[in-house]
A and B are shown apart, each in its own frame.
Chain A
């Protein structure tokens, strides 16, 4: 015994819970007198009740974005190995920040700070926190006069040692942050942090070598133009407020 062809859609509606409308009223009257439709409706209702569907994925179980971002990224990516000269050139932008914000910030504020928070911190916060921590060090190097840089007293000073420790720490933080930003498709920010990382590595290495020549080159590079032009005004607004006694 089979259902009537013309009532198949009505059976389907009824099984899926669509019971409103004149057609369903007509179907109700029909099914009372049609054993075929009645049997089919009962069987499909029972089948619907017994259906076991796959478990839906849990929130966070899937993460399509990294692969999608990679597919959408421009094909060329900057090489990680860069010459000192290039690093110095990139570092030159520190002066830009010095000009832009120098009047608001001290040139050698505290550069030792807590490690960048772990990956549970929202990515945006980590990026801004990184910039915030990097700014005092960048300004400290950028605004220091050349004679001071090459003086024997400065090369052996605790101030330089502190800056170099901070540079080493920030370089370590940068690597982790770059990976996160790249995974999220934030290529511009990842590139900027990558460039800052090179500067920090340079400063940290100078720490070990006590290299006055290197310091001079870095300083000369800072006297050009550079990477902080890449920061947007929005990002600059998140950098630290002027400290007391700032010049």
Chain B
């Protein structure tokens, strides 16, 4: 979609045009949800956060000056909203075992008809391992990991969302990747689930 199209939509939305607001919500809801899912780890939490983010964004829209892209601005709201959720519920409580909270696992396990069933199952299992390993990350490491890997934002975009220096983003990603690799290797050692070592 052309950026100018988004600008027109934003202009209309700022004037309270409900159809434009609806279009903006529909355009960005998947990305907001996916980011929230990565940060919070549970589908129901992510859906709640998505709705909260959209409401906050619409209410704050008159103050959006366009200094950053609209998506970046929305990601920043999403990140802050998710951090609030985490603060409210404590980090350790929102990252319970996937066996008890299958929200994230459902997303790994979503079958593609073209996929071999065995491969889907294996992917779901690896996804659960990653999710469990993400519990070892600090909030900052997790944020960088999710924005870079889930949302595929650039270093610069990630830095903008998190209000951090680009060098800091790179270092946090390095540490996140190393921690995750080590955590998953430990998991493999203890369960023998994967044959290939990383």
Contacts and interface: CB of A to CB of B under 8 A. Distances in A.
Contacts of B126: 50, 52
Given A52-B126, A54-B34, A44 B22 contact: no
B102 interface: no
Nearest to B38: A54
Interface residues of B, number: 44
Main secondary structure on B side of the interface with A: helix
A69 B16 CA distance: 12
B30 A62 contact: yes
A68 B22 CA distance: 9
B164 to A, nearest CB: 13
B177 A64 contact: no
Given A55-B108, A72-B58, A8 B174 contact: yes
Contacts, number: 110
Interface string B87-128: 000000000000000001001101000000000000100110
Given A43-B198, A50-B198, A51-B149, A8 B51 contact: no
A9 interface: yes
Interface of A: 8-9, 11-13, 15-16, 18, 40, 43-44, 46-48, 50-57, 59, 61-65, 67-69, 71-72, 184-187
Given A12-B170, A48-B177, 19 more contacts: A44-B177, A47-B184, A50-B196, A51-B130, A53-B127, A54-B34, A54-B127, A56-B34, A57-B30, A59-B30, A61-B30, A64-B25, A64-B29, A65-B26, A67-B51, A71-B51, A72-B21, A72-B58, A185-B22
